[in-house]
Amino acid sequence: SYRSHDPWEAFDDDLNAVDTMMYNHGNGKGSKPHVRKHFPETWIWDLAPAGNDGKLALSKTVPDTITSWIISAFAMDPVNGLGIASETSKVTVFRPFFVKLNLPYAIIRGESLYLEVIVFNYLKKPMKADVTLENKNRDFEFTVAGDKKAVSQDQMTKSVEVPAEDGISVLFLITPKTLGYIDLKVSAVADVAGDAIVKKLLVKPEGTPKYFNKALLVDLRDSNSKVIDKTVQISIPNDAVPGSTTVTLSAIGKYINYP
């Protein structure tokens, strides 16, 4: 049936509503702060049917990133065709007291890294906070500047005073021991506010990468089975860095046409 109303008018009005700002004061020292660990680069990519009035309501939980999200939308209708929102809307996710972790893309195992934790305080008064870096999995060692001996412990805590409406940096010197992605959990807890964050750091093996290839030809034309089982011998050099060996498998359907 033909819709006499314009479905895109309501669609545009709803999307261009007043921008929303979300606040969360976190927790104080009496309880553990909520741990933020969901930090996607993009958020919503959904396809959903609208009602007969051309409207659609979605309920979503915002990610843990302290940022602003720009939201746009488009719709398809069998009668009216393509509709695109003429303007975007913005959702700001904010906490008046939060921590930020500055990490490099990767680090080599055995290298020492100054891990920078920034504590932001947008409240109206200074806050004394305990900043803690956890190491429950013993993925790294704590190092004290000027001390050649690293310390393996579950956590390290530093006390700081964060000025009102400002931020302060806290440094932890660590030396990773575990290869792959390791979790770094940092929390900052004050009397009336708190925040915790978990981010991943890629730890690469030391040494120089070496690559070896082994090709196999699989021919199933003369076989009644579509499953093949072959044993491949792989020689690992004696001087390979422990824990750094990986094996990958790829297949090409028509090798004559490759590349």
CB 128 within 8 A of CB 158: no
CATH of domain 97-204: 2.60.40.10
User: Please, are residues 63 and 38 in contact by the beta-carbon 8 Å criterion?
Assistant: yes
Tell me the pLDDT tens digit for each residue of 196-213. Answer: 999 999 999 988 888 888
pLDDT reported for residue 244: 82
Q: How far apart, in Å, are the Cα atoms of 11 and each of 45, 50, 59, 85, 121?
A: 17, 10, 16, 7, 38
- The set of residues, in sequence order, having a beta carbon less than 8 Å from that of 139 and lying 6+ positions away, is 176, 177, 178, 182, 183, 203
CATH class of 1-94: mainly beta
**Structure confidence by residue, pLDDT tens digits, 36-65:** 998 888 888 888 888 888 788 888 889 988
- What are the boundaries of each domain within the chain? 1-94, 97-204
Flag whether the pTM goes above 0.85: no
